[in-house]
Chains A and B, each alone.
Chain A
Amino acid sequence: MDAFSAKLVVKLAQIEGVENVWAANEPPREWIDAIRTYAPYYARLFSLNPRQDGSALFDPDKLGSRAEGLKQALLSPQGGFVKAIAKQDSLLLSLNGFKDMQNQFQRQANLNSGGGALILQSRPAALDSDAHLRLQAAIRASFDSLNQSAGEKFRLSMAGVPVFSVAAQTEISRDVTLVSVASSVAVTLVFLLLFRSFSALHWVMMVQAASFVLGTLATALVFGYVHSLTLALGASLIGICTDYPIHVMVHCAKHRHPPLDAVRLLWPSLAMGGLTTIIGYAALGLTGFPGFEQIAVFALFSIFASLALTRWVLPALLAKSTLHSAHLPGIAAWAGFCGRHRRGLLSLFATGVILAFFTLPQLRWMDDMQKLAMDMDQLKQQDEAVRSHFSSIEPGRFVLVQADDIETALRRSEAVERRLIMLKQTGILSEYHGLFPWLVSQDLQAENAKVYAQALTPQFQEAWRAGLVKADLSLDKLGRLPPPIAEPLRPETVLASPVRHILSGQIIEGQNGAVLAIWLGEHDPVKLAEGLAGLEGTRYFSQKDQLDQLAGQYRDRSLLMLAIGIAVMGLFILLQQRNIRKVVLTLLPSVASVLFIFAIWSLMGEEVSFLHVIGLLLSVSLCVDYGIFFMDNRGENSDVTYHGIAASTLTTLASFGALGLGKTPTLPILALSVSLGVTLGFLLCPLLIQKPTR
């Protein structure tokens, strides 16, 4: 294994995206070389607790064994390394601060006695999935070529954030393709089933394609990039945008109106429907969930383009198309049934509403954001298996230290490290990776220097010389213990050296000050957080807790946006209708469906996340269109209007249903919420909105 690992290290180091690679159980050469550069500053960074450690470090009685230890170190295979340090730092004080690091590697060596665990530091950032996809392919190719010559005896497993980000990216790309294709095919099939016209399909799809392109361009202009999920959800928008031409075509087909006349007739309803849908997407964008702003901008421009093209371009395109509007079975029957049994059904509806309200307190909210994460059980098992070969650093949990400047941040992080040492002693924490002694505050350097200078008494110097004589070491070269170097080791000097690679990921310096990260080994989160209480600028960061907190915030915000969205839609409808009863009736089917869906989830014990709420928000923005069309009934034929609504419900179900095929949990949740919402809203329209007469 050792031989294979050594060859693999050499081969991996040649890959373009690899910054450094080394066997996990020993520090890379760069670290050893970096330690050597600290020798001149030995008196300034030997301890995190110089006053406490000074008594043992500068005990004259121990200097004999210290000198003997130095002699043995000089005779050991590491003699060359020790000699270079001892010439500047004969007491080897500069190595004292690095003892913990040595212990960590020793523990690592015990875990990885086979020598198969390697650490690879990449040049691209962990979340740069494209670069990591290439890098991981290159790593696998290097491994495979070596393994082939070794008789296929070895197996490669990788762990780390980039492995997950690449897997997520791959899944999302798969979802985008699947959802886009399925959604387009489903909408096309529904359209052909309804209108049986390839010519009309061709023109409508042209309109949708143009809307899609405009939405993509606008998103790229506003954000500078377009996320894959925007395109996946954007594909479902095709189904929504198709609604506008569909209403026009249903009226054309049923009433034999020329397309231009039908568009003029329906335009107020179409415009209001489009506006309420835009409001729904705007509310979605304001929930604060990353990425949804992009989807909102995409929707805004796509819907706007689709509406404009339907109004001013589509009539000309459809002029020569022959449309056959299919008679959808059950539509007229359901509308008739609602008309005949309105009273009874309304009583049933009212009872349902009351019961639904009673079930709401039982609603279970999903507070664990992990449940919304992609299912990567296999990858997680692989990650755990790989991590078992490494000394444990818990991913996603660390201590963040913040200050206005690096010096203050360092002082604070040193205070944190002192606490962490105590927590280690009590067993609350297994280990940690701080910045000491790679980076030491000026204050601590001064304190170290003071303790050292105080210890440097003539008696101490004499005892050291006696120790050297006893160990047969050179008095000339090792006997003089000079005072501390006057100039402290400054962070900018350290960070200009290769040490910056060692500390990469632990220091963020910006206009708002400096943030330092201290990585943690296995620990008790509650006790550790308690242990750090009272330390200024210090925060125990748990990614899971943070995400759970965010899940709660998003949920509250999405509920608020749902309410605001409904209110704004109501306001716009009021401005058009100028009749409060009509507004209430228009909104009622969609609002009632939301209530019933929440009640159903309550009874089923479904854990409801903010994504469920966002899905319902979208369903409301779509259902309100149905209410508007049904209420307006501009063709003065409610059967035709309801057929138009049925057709658009089918295309919406086809496009949003396709989201359910996605493996990214966000997509099936949205698919379920929107599909349930529009179906219920569609069914409630003829019941709640009395058959309009003109």
Chain B
Amino acid sequence: MLARNSIRELRHRPLRTLLTVAGVAVSTAMLADMLMLGGGIQQSFGDLLESRGYELRVSPSGTIPFDTEATIPGFARLRDSIAGVAGVERVAPVLAMSVSVEVEDGGGDGSRDSRRTLALGLDPGNRSLYGLVDGDAPGMGEAVPDSRLAGELGVRLGGRLRLATASGFGTWGRTASVRVAGTGDFVFATARDMPVAVPLGDLQALSELEDQVSFAMIRVRAGYDPEVVRDAIAVLASRVEVVTLAGISEKLDERLSYFRQLAVILGSVSLFVAALLIGTITAVSVSERLGVIAAVRAIGVARRRIVGDLTAESVVLCVVGGGIGIGLAVVVAGYLESILADFPGLPVAVRFFVLRPESLATAYGLVIASGAVAGLVPALRATGLEVTTLLHREEP
């Protein structure tokens, strides 16, 4: 009955209710977004890494893939050793080099732009770093440029590209002519980088880095613990680092710790603001009804029932406001993501705000719980007063 009265009170004061719901909605949206931001990038990057199906990375000590141009020399021997480790299913080496690329024959529209990009030397058939948009994987003397790069250069399937190492002034460095076998979608490419995939041997020859790779990806057989396999590989070479996908994610997370810290601070502030708003509204609402509360207690209605019904009012505000806030959070996350999409050095596929049901549920639950607590405090205070004192105050 009291709860029914409370709900009707909310409808009776539409402006107050509307503003409170709006306040809770904005706070919930902010909290949910901060929860999405807090663990989003780590999960997004982790998902991206896992989607390629290789559980370990072997890279020169102190680096992470694509971090520097450091290489692992004498890789053929190391590769044989790694392949011999129990639990290793496949070793996929990658050589990443900065190159200049231009259309050799002027391209389809006669353009002759050159640009610096990243060349990825991969084993034939290794498509772990890109998906084919068009054509086939590159064979010897062939390349698969990023589809955006192909578009920018105006090159078509079967066209020819000239790749050049970045060193040497006045003339090209070492150059190679390659046929465009296909175009690809490079999962680790940043908005600015538009890589080109070539056979590993071709890139090693071009860059004079025979038997060297930037890193290698290791696929672990089902049933083997990646961490155990990692430890077994780590002892094979002293100057390489073997990291699990979680380890790489953690390193990235360390670099972007600012966003996590911001998420914690803003999330906490949002929750506090929501609780403060609900607490204020409930406190005012309760003080307006002290007479009724006193009378109902005098009649003999149990205190816990009155407290429960008064708290229900704040919970209803949070349930409604929080629900709207969750929808708002999705919209705001999209907007904030569009701003952070320009963040340099991150793969396009990595997202700062990952729409996770648990983030939304946590935000919703936290707002409702904080609203319940914020409502509970004034309700307990009001019903904890002496009934006779209240009646003396309310009756003339």
Q: Are A and B associated in one complex?
A: no
- Mark A residues whose CB is within 8 Å of B: none
- Mark B residues whose CB is within 8 Å of A: none
